[in-house]
Amino acid sequence: MKRVLLLALYVLAICSCAGKSNDKSGIELHDETDLAGLRVATQSGTCYELDLSSRNDIELQTYNTESDVLQALINGKADVIVNDEVIYNAVTRRDNGVKIAMLGEKTFPTGFLFRRDDRYLAQAMDAVQQRMVADGTMQGLKEFWLTDAFAEAGEYVHIPEESTGTPLRVATSTMSAPISFQVNGEWYGLEIDIIRELGKALNRPLEIKAYEMASGILAVKTGQADIMCGCVFITPERKQEFLFSEPYHYYRPAYFVIDEEANFDHDGSLFAWLKNSIRRNLILEGRWKYIVDGLLKTIKITLLSILFGSLLGACIYQMSRSRRRWMRSFAHFYNSFIDGIPDLVLLLIMFYIVFADSGISSDTVAIVSFSMFFAASACGIYRSSLAAVPPGQMQAGLALGFTRVQSFMHIVLPQALRHGLPLFKAQCITLLKGTAIVGYIAIQDLTRAGDMIRSRTFDALIPLLVVTVLYFLLAWLLGLLLNLASSKIKVL
């Protein structure tokens, strides 16, 4: 039955994707006034968003990543998308059947963002940029990265790390070429190369993590990162709160539309298209490694959170039954507090406030947050399943001559487990699915792995499908494991 369902889902997804079309055909753009009445999609946190938000004659859509923006155009949710001229390069445009309709009139300054009191690092960056401009390295980098030539080349120079100092923590909001992107676990791109020069000058190795734009900026503010890159536009508003290095480039927006003449079906067959898609999304550049790493990360966070959450939950449950009033109040407060806030908000609070600047890894922060979450549910499960065992059972055990501990372990617990295990199982699976939000604090879990592949290939179907199937299998396995555990409970 499960197989049939899966197959149905698969076929449905392929059909919906293969039949991608856009009814608004033949959009002609000459200048920005032509945008009137169109659905325009752009990336949040960019200058283009800011620029277009003042226009009320267009329907503006904002998405978090470049790939989401492109997907909006391909799927017909938007008529036009606007982004950096360079971001969807020749290869990407050809593979996805989009083209540049026109270039924007204005250009926007782009630089690196630093904490306001980190004047030293900002000035060091300025010095590095000045040197690079003077000796021509900047020009060389731009000529390589900002033309379509690099994309056609498909090969990048890997510069090995030699620095030994404290790591320079880099937050990047872009996982797309040519700004900053990953291949086989290594970071490449124009901005990455510039920051590498800074690292070399300061003798500090780079520690790069991918954030969404808003979370990344917050990470710099709260001290989780030292420098933010990924096409960060220099706006007056940001300048009030942060320091910027001198702009290294002025980006020009480009307006992309569906290319009517592009031949989608390549060689026509669905199977060939699928094969190519799988190759691009999973095989090329070892992209399946993201999935494997993400999968392991998701498993690690889930299992450890279940373990610690169960233990913490037992403590909270004990407190809730304590004779001391303050302990009961604490347990009550804890449970209602955790029940009352979304898990994402708790995660962000833990990351940006509680553990800000504490040097604790984001994996640990995630495990702590999810353990806290799980503890509240576990506490409720303990309470309801122990309450389901009549108090007479304990008494009968004691009356037969068992000690309190024996009576609990041999008589009460097995019966409580029968009530509690199905609830526990459901909660574990909820937790597993809940961990999909750890991408917000720059952890590359299974969901994030799919996102990273999407931001390189600009293809939604295969990464999402693989991620979906893996989550489904994980949930199924987890359930199986717990069922196995419960079937091991024997009386004598």
Partner 1 sequence: MITISHLTKSFTDPDGSVLQVLKDVNCVINPGEVITVIGPSGSGKSTLLKALNLLDPPTGGSIIFDGEDILAKGYPVHKMRQRVGMVFQDFNLFGHMTVLENVIYAPCKIKKMDIAQAREMGLTLLRKVGLMEKADAYPSSLSGGQKQRVAIARCLAMEPEVILFDEPTSSLDPTMVGEVLSVIRHLAKDGMTMLIVTHEMKFARDVSTRIFYMQDGVIYEDGTPEQIFETPRRSATKAFVQRIRKAVFEVGSHDFDFLNMESHIRQFCIKYNIAEKSDNALVLCKKVVRNIMSDYFPMTIRITHSELSEVTALDFMVENLDKSPLEGADPARVEEIRSLCHKIIEEPTSRGFRVKLLI
Instruction: Give me the residues that bind partner 1 (CB under 8 A), please.
Output: 390, 392-393, 395-396, 398-403, 406, 410-411, 414-415, 418, 491-492
Quick one: how far is CA 142 from the chain centroid?
Answer: 28
Cα angle: 257, vertex 261, 264; to 5 degrees: 90
The pair phi, psi for residue 284, each rounded to 5°, is -60, 140
Shortest distance, position 491 Cβ to partner 1, whole Å:
5
Query: Closest separation between CB of residue 414 and partner 1, Å?
Result: 5
> Which C-beta is closer to partner 1: that of 398 or that of 426?
398
In this complex, which beta carbon is closest to partner 1, that of residue 278 or of residue 421? 421
What minimum distance in Å lies between the beta carbon of 366 and partner 1?
37
Least Å distance, CB 345 to partner 1, is: 37
Shortest distance, position 325 Cβ to partner 1, whole Å: 12
For partner 1, the closer CB: 94 or 418: 418
CB of 388 to partner 1, least distance (A): 10
Distance, in Å, from the CA atom of 121 to the CA atom of 172, rounded to the nearest integer, reads 17
| Shorter beta-carbon distance to partner 1: residue 22 or 320 | 320
Nearer to partner 1, 203 or 403 (CB): 403
> Which is nearest to 127 in space by CA: 48, 188, 194, 54?
194
Closer residue to partner 1 (CB): 157 or 492: 492
In angstroms, what CA-CA distances link 483 with 381, 424, 426? 17, 11, 11
Considering the complex, state which of residue 184 and residue 395 has its C-beta at the smaller distance from partner 1: 395
User: Which residues have a Cβ under 8 Å from the Cβ of 139 and sit 6 or more positions away?
Assistant: 133
* Residues 205, 198: Cα–Cα separation, whole Å: 10
Rounded to whole angstroms, how far apart are CA atoms 215 and 486?
41
Q: Are 64 and 451 in contact (CB under 8 A)?
A: no
| C-beta of 109 vs 414, nearer to partner 1 | 414
Q: How far is the CB of 394 from partner 1 (least distance, A)?
A: 9
CB of 413 to partner 1, least distance (A): 10
Question: Which one, 58 or 398, has the nearer CB to partner 1?
Answer: 398
Distance CA 123, CA 126 (A): 5
Min dist CB 485 to partner 1, Å, is 16
